[in-house]
Every structure is written in C-alpha cells, then in structure tokens.
Amino acid sequence: MTTNGSTFLERILIKKLKSKSDSLFKAVNSLLTHPDAHLHDRRLVVNYVKTLLSEDHPYSAAYVQRLTSVTHLVWERLNTGHWAQVWPGWRTLYGLLTLARVEALTSLTHGSALGDDSDLTRDLVKMCDLGLLLGGPDILGGLLETLAQEMTEHLATLCDLHEGESESKKPRLSICDKSKLCNLNEASLKLTLPLQDIPVLACPDIAEFVTKAKLPARVTKLTGAMEDWPALTSWSPQRLVRLAGPRTVPVEIGGRYTDSDWTQELMTVQQFVDNYLCVENGDRRVGYLAQHQLLSQVPALKEDILTPDYCFTGDSDEEPDVNVWIGPGGTVSPAHTDKKHNVLCQVAGYKYVAVFYPDQGRALYPDTTPMFENTSRVDLDSPDMEEFPLLSQLQGHHTILGPGEMLYIPPLVWHYVRSLEQSFSVSFWWE
C-alpha cells in the first residue's frame, strides 16, 4: 500500500465512498418506510438529511458543518431515554451521516496540505468508530468497519517506516514473580469456609466436555485446548497498538463497576495502552477494556484466535458472542452471573477466579436494582460479615487461570474475577 496520504485518500476513501453515494441516499430514504417514522420529528429530520445528500454542490466547510449539526441532533435523540427504547432509525441514520461526513471531509481536504496529514486519518478513524459504536456494524454492508480497518492498516504502514526510533516509547509488560502469582492460597478470597479447587480436564474432546462439564453444569478448567492460538505468542501491548492504535473503544475507569465513582470513557487503543497498560501508571486509576467486541471491530486481531469447538454444543446455530478483556493487574469483576454458557480463555497474564453455584445465591446478596440484579452487593475482597451474615456459610471453588488455559462457566453460576497482572483474555458466550 502506498504511503502517500493524498493517494491513499483518493484510492481508498474517496472512490469507495463516491461509489456508494446512491446507496447512501436510498438507505436514508428507506427510513421513511419504518412504521414509526411518522412519530415526533423523525420524518422531518430524515427529509432534511435527504435534502442535504441530494443537493448538487461542491464539498465545502459549510456543507460539512451542516452534516455535523444534524449528526449532533441525532446523537441527542440516541441519548434521550433508555437505550432499548430508542428508535432504531436514529442508530441507522447516525451511521449513514457518519459515512456522509467522512466522504465530505476526505473530498474537501483532498489535494490540500491536510491530505498528507496522518492526524486527519486518525480523526476519520475515530469518526468511523463512533459510527460503529452508535450506529451499528451493518451500515451499507459494513462499510464503516471496512474504511476504519483500511485506514488503521495505512497508519500502521506509516509507523513501520519509523520503527526503531525509540525503544523507550514502547509499552512494556509488567514484571512479576510467577511463583507468587500462581500461589492460590495467597490470591484466595478470605472467606469463613475455605474454597475448593476447580476440577481440571486436559484437552477434552467434545464428548468428554459435554458429559463431564456441560451436562452436569460443572465449572471446569480446560487445559491444552488453546495451543494452536497465534495470540498466545503474538498478543502484547505493541501488537495491540500496531493493529488497533487509532481505534476508539469504551474503557472502564475504576476498580469495579459497582463502585460509586466508576465510569466509562471513550478513548483510542493507543491512549488506553499509554495510560493504563504501561508499567509507569503512577497513581492513575485502573482502566479496563472489558467485555468489548474488539475482534469484530479489528478483524486482524480475530485472526489470532480460534473459536473453541465447545461453543458449538448448544441449542442455537448462532455464532458465539466474543468479547475481549484487557487491562493491568488489579482489575476486578465483582461476583455476578450470566445467562449464557461461557468459556473464558486466558491469552496472557494470570487471573484469579472464584465461583459459586446458584444454590449459594442467597449468601451473595444479589442487588435489588434491575440494572445490577445479576451482581452481588458483597465486596468479596473485604467481606463485611456483620452486614452480610450469610457469608459465613458461603461455599465455593477457585483457581488461578494462566496463559493457554480455559475456564468453562455454566449459566447462572456466580463468578468473581481478579487480574493478578497485566492480562489479555477472550470470552465466548453461547446458548
């Protein structure tokens, strides 16, 4: 791929987007056929966007500003009320407007000094990612995802030209005493009743997995089943930055999502690595790229993993949900349950996991608010036996999950997870 920014914009972005101009207009127009399109100001906004896209005009700063203004208006509609109640047309319209803005900006800056500026390309990647996060992945056949990935690869090519500039700028893995990390007694939760070991199956075939783990709904560690994953040797902060550095992702800020000061921030992967995965984090709060479909957002990373065959033992023909969990040591997922089967695959680093079967739910005091009803109110790291007296009866199991190991967690089993060092994990959920 050429490293000339202007040629890249012309060859990759402008041509692709212009070839989709008619499809973009038709997609906006089709929103008017939605049964709820007549409610509120929906038809008015959609018709205004149609007018913008149909005007015969040269690309100008004024046109970009009009697109930006209506995009902000749609953003407000997306963030009004509960997300589940938002009109789906607003999501689609946001994604389509994002494509229109990317086309307008690339055409406006083509041939100018900005055409060679990698900062412009990074801004366009961020714009595409916001379109993906808010608009969804299916806009015009996944065009936002395609454009973002090709721009990311282009930026990586530019970076390759400057590799070796300064080793000190590269993020480093944390250095830990592995013998200490693997000490289960030291990592264990301090509960009244001692936790039991989780059973282990060494590279089980499908029949053994089903009969010894899935059917009896038994939490089981699976070893030797990830040896063919390229990610085991390739995943690192450096590779993450190279393949996904300019991509925008949601990062959890805070020790655990039940804390009162917990929040989420959108940032680039580069910013996440620089601020939260480097050794020199100082006194910064913990940042966690948690439960995010990064592999769908960055297909090049998906090539490094293989979906376990165990995920195809369910009742559904759908592909499993795949999420990544990347963060420094000290990240904690409080005890909670999920409704689907789960295989947690550890790629790099070590995690401590404690599990409690459904019959132990009362002793974990589930939250009574609808949003957190699957989450325990108990801080298992500092258990308060006076406030939660049933904790003295809590029985569970635990293990330390290391690189190349999987943990099968059946539906509705309570599980608590703590990263003992910088960690890369992938989870597969299926029904």
Q: What are the pLDDT digits (tens) for 310-362? A: 999 988 888 999 999 999 999 999 999 999 999 999 999 999 999 999 999 99
Domain end residue (candidates: 113, 132, 160): 160
Q: Which pLDDT value is given to residue 11? A: 62
Is residue 168 included in any domain, yes or no?
no
Task: Render pLDDT for 195-254 as a digit per residue (tens, 0 to 9).
Answer: 999 999 999 999 999 999 999 999 999 999 999 999 999 999 999 998 999 999 999 998
What domain range includes position 72?
5-160
In this predicted structure, which of 37-46, 48-57, 159-168, 327-336 has the lowest mean pLDDT? 159-168
Q: How confident is the model at residue 9 (pLDDT cuts 50, 70, 90)?
A: low
Is residue 366 included in any domain, yes or no?
yes
Q: How confident is the model at residue 175 (pLDDT cuts 50, 70, 90)?
A: very low
Please give the distance of CA 324 from its chain centroid, rounded to a whole number: 6
Average pLDDT, the chain: 87
Is residue 170 included in any domain, yes or no?
no
Please give the distance of CA 159 from its chain centroid, rounded to a whole number: 24
233 and 90 in one domain?
Answer: no
199 and 136 in one domain?
Answer: no
Most confident of 166-170, 249-253, 370-374: 249-253
pLDDT at residue 174 tops 50: no
Is residue 173 included in any domain, yes or no?
no
Is residue 298 included in any domain, yes or no?
yes
363 and 228 in one domain?
Answer: yes
Contact in structure between 180 and 379 (CB atoms under 8 Å): no
Number of separate domains in the chain: 2
pLDDT at residue 187 tops 60: yes
pLDDT at residue 282 tops 60: no
Q: Which pLDDT value is given to residue 10? A: 62
**Neighbour count for residue 250 (Cβ, 10 Å):** 14
259 and 213 in one domain?
Answer: yes
In SS3 terms, 235-255 reads as CCHHHHHHHHCCCEEEEEECC
pTM above 0.95, yes or no: no
Is residue 314 included in any domain, yes or no?
yes
353 and 273 in one domain?
Answer: yes
